[in-house]
Amino acid sequence: MLRFRPKLGTERSSEWRCCFCLHVRTGTILLGTWHLLLHLIALGFLAAIVRDPRLLDELERDTAPMADWSEVGPALPTPLSNVDAPPSPYTQHSSQPRDHSLIYLCTLAITLMLIYGAIRGKPAHLLPFFCLQIFDFAITVLTATGYLCYLRSIHRLVAETRRVPWRAQLLQLPAPALALVVLSAFLLAVLLKGYCISVVWRCYKYLTMRAHALQSLTPFVISSEAALAGA
């Protein structure tokens, strides 16, 4: 039996390299492993919330903005101040941990498909994760664009949000420097997500070209086996 190794025209070029030294296939597997670890941590946290719902109340209390209403003053009386609000005919829905668990399980399945497809050489398994990356990238860009409208009051936003890394140090910065830090953080996040999208897309192209190369070599392998058998 003659063995043929498929040689892609640009297999060793920089097109199939990521992070300066890794192949895009290896980079995709590492990216999927990182997302898998994050999903497992999130599912463990949600499981802890289901067992003890008080953790969710403490988390919401910590992340609630600290608005100072002393500068606004007391609320002015109105004709409807002493009137009770009528009961709403619509059911009030709240976000439950089970809903988040379902979402995380779906994204976990997509991440497992990415890892399996990259390892087994199945490019179609990479497409769901790629679409999820595109959606996440669009949400990040829209969020960054929305925060551009609040750059003038960025000190107030940071002061009202408790769970901000290095919050005390950020509040000591002047307004232009703090705005530059926020813009740099959003720009870095957008560039990082875009680079991860590029890695997965190039891995999809590589696996597709590799599969086509193997399919094109199959008739030659069969004909060589037939010739050796006839001899």
Rounded distance between C-alpha atoms, residue 127 and residue 117, angstroms = 10
pTM above 0.85, yes or no: no
Contacts of 129 (CB under 8 A, 6+ apart): 32, 110, 111, 113, 114, 200
The pair of three-digit structure tokens given for residue 74, joined into one six-digit string: 């007391």
Rounded distance between C-alpha atoms, residue 198 and residue 36, angstroms = 19
pLDDT of residue 111: 95
Residuewise pLDDT in 10s, the chain (231 residues): 444 444 555 555 677 888 878 899 999 999 999 999 999 998 888 888 878 777 766 666 655 544 444 444 455 555 544 555 555 444 444 455 566 778 888 999 999 999 999 999 999 999 999 999 999 999 999 988 887 777 777 777 777 776 677 777 777 888 788 888 888 888 999 999 999 999 999 999 999 998 888 777 655 544 555 455 555
pLDDT of residue 93: 44
pLDDT of residue 128: 95
- DSSP alpha helices (H): ranges in the chain? 24-51, 54-63, 97-120, 127-147, 154-160, 167-171, 175-230
